[in-house]
Amino acid sequence: MLIRKPSDIAPSEITPLQHYLDRRKFMMAGAAGLLMASDAFAALSFKKGTSVLAANDKPNSLRDITHYNNYYEFGSGKSDPSENAGVLKTHPWSIVVDGAVEKARTFDIDTLLRLPLEERIYRHRCVEGWSMVIPWVGFPLAALLKQMKLTAKARYVAFETLNRPSEMPGMAEGLLAWPYREGLRIDEAMHPLTLLAVGLYGNVLPNQNGAPIRLVVPWKYGFKSIKAIVRIHLTDTQPQTSWNLATPNEYGFYSNVNPTVDHPRWSQANERRIGEFLRRPTQMFNGYGSQVASLYQGMDLRKNF
């Protein structure tokens, strides 16, 4: 996976006008309730990524990526998000960035979509033992954080999902303490692999995948990759996270993919790639160790699971 800095992308490679036309089409499709049909997703303009996935990693189908989901706000079944998330209004949308910053800011989603977008084809490993390969479109979280003046207290980043029970029928099941919350250490948040995704397969994000904007941290278990983000809070203390609050002995703050540290109720040594029959071995840091292992030098990864 080649990471290109926004400054490496020639203006001629980006076609904002087409992007805005498509965005308009998308909003109208949303208003007409057409967003469940995958061919109604509007195209984004982005810089094509170069993938260094293993030879046997090929992207999952759009069908699999959009119909086998975890998004508990819409129910706990794998098909609940694709069936229930269509009603969610994802425009207008804004993200508040506050806490340990010199001046809090509110970013409108349309402003964020004007940042240079890149394709990133990442492996995704759910803590439940299944995996996929997903061609995201987005921008590094660092590109957003670098627009803020962080204070010395900005040691962690806390994220919050939209809290709108009227459009999120799964919230009534009460499986987690809402809103869904996640967090990263500041160096993890600034890492160039850490992405804010606004699209997949070249089109805007389907609601069930976390529209209009979600985090993607490919070396961590999937639940760290929080969907439908409305708040990013800089803080000097390790943030509380929804899954850790629910079951602290099963879901730690770090949750780096690690085949040598089992979940208390199942092995993490291997995984089922959606669409495949035989399980395959799980890789340390989900195969991104050469890029991220240094973040955890000297840490006991069994203790800091």
Ligand X SMILES: Nc1nc2c(c(=O)[nH]1)N[C@H]1C(S)=C(S)[C@@H](COP(=O)(O)O)O[C@H]1N2
| Under rule CB under 6 A, residue 72 binds ligand X | yes
| Under rule CB under 6 A, residue 244 binds ligand X | no
Segment contacting ligand X by CB under 6 A, of 36-44, 47-55, 94-102, 223-231: 223-231
| Under rule CB under 6 A, residue 223 binds ligand X | yes
Segment contacting ligand X by CB under 6 A, of 56-64, 114-122, 144-152, 226-234: 226-234
Please identify which residue in 73, 80, 188, 271 interacts with ligand X, judged by CB under 6 A.
Answer: 73
| Under rule CB under 6 A, residue 231 binds ligand X | no
Number of residues that bind ligand X (CB under 6 A): 17
φ and ψ at 200, to 5 degrees? -150, 150
For residue 259, whether the previous peptide bond is cis, meaning omega lies within 30 degrees of 0, is no
Taking the least distance from each CB to ligand X, the nearer of 45 and 70 is: 70
Which residues are known binding-site members?
69, 72-73, 126, 161, 209, 214, 225-227
φ and ψ at 190, to 5 degrees? -85, -10
Footprint of Mo ion (CB under 5 A)? 70, 126, 222-223
Rg (CA), the chain: 18
| Under rule CB under 6 A, residue 217 binds ligand X | no
Please check whether residue 70 is in contact with residue 81, taking contact to mean a CB–CB distance below 8 angstroms.
yes
| Under rule CB under 6 A, residue 226 binds ligand X | yes
Report the nearest approach of ligand X to the CB of residue 181 (Å). Answer: 9
Please identify which residue in 97, 126, 133, 204 interacts with ligand X, judged by CB under 6 A.
Answer: 126
Q: In what order do the strands lie in the sheet with 105-108?
A: 105-108, 94-99, 229-235, 156-161, 181-185
Q: How far apart, in whole angstroms, are the C-alpha atoms of residue 151 and residue 170? A: 37
| Under rule CB under 6 A, residue 90 binds ligand X | no
Kindly give the residue spans of alpha helices, DSSP state H, lying in the chain: 16-31, 62-67, 80-84, 109-112, 141-145, 186-190, 242-246, 289-292
180 binds, among Mo ion, ligand X, none (CB under 5 to 8 A by kind): ligand X
Taking the least distance from each CB to Mo ion, the nearer of 116 and 179 is: 179
Which residues are known binding-site members for Mo-molybdopterin?
69, 72-73, 126, 161, 209, 214, 225-227
* Strand locations in 169-267 (E): 181-185, 195-200, 203-204, 214-216, 229-235
| Under rule CB under 6 A, residue 71 binds ligand X | yes
| Under rule CB under 6 A, residue 225 binds ligand X | yes
| Angle subtended at Cα 271 by Cα 267 and Cα 272, rounded to the nearest 5 degrees | 135
Q: How far apart, in whole angstroms, are the C-alpha atoms of residue 258 and residue 284? A: 5
Binders of ligand X in range 152-181 (CB under 6 A): 161, 180
Q: How far apart, in whole angstroms, are the C-alpha atoms of residue 193 and residue 138? A: 11
181 binds, among ligand X, Mo ion, none (CB under 5 to 8 A by kind): none
Sequence-separated (6 or more) residues with CB below 8 Å from residue 152: 100
* Strand locations in 64-205 (E): 94-99, 105-108, 118-125, 130-140, 156-161, 181-185, 195-200, 203-204
Binders of ligand X in range 21-60 (CB under 6 A): none
Segment contacting ligand X by CB under 6 A, of 11-19, 21-29, 65-73, 147-155: 65-73
Report the nearest approach of Mo ion to the CB of residue 167 (Å). Answer: 22
Q: List contacts with ligand X (CB under 6 A).
A: 69-73, 124, 126, 161, 180, 209-210, 222-223, 225-228
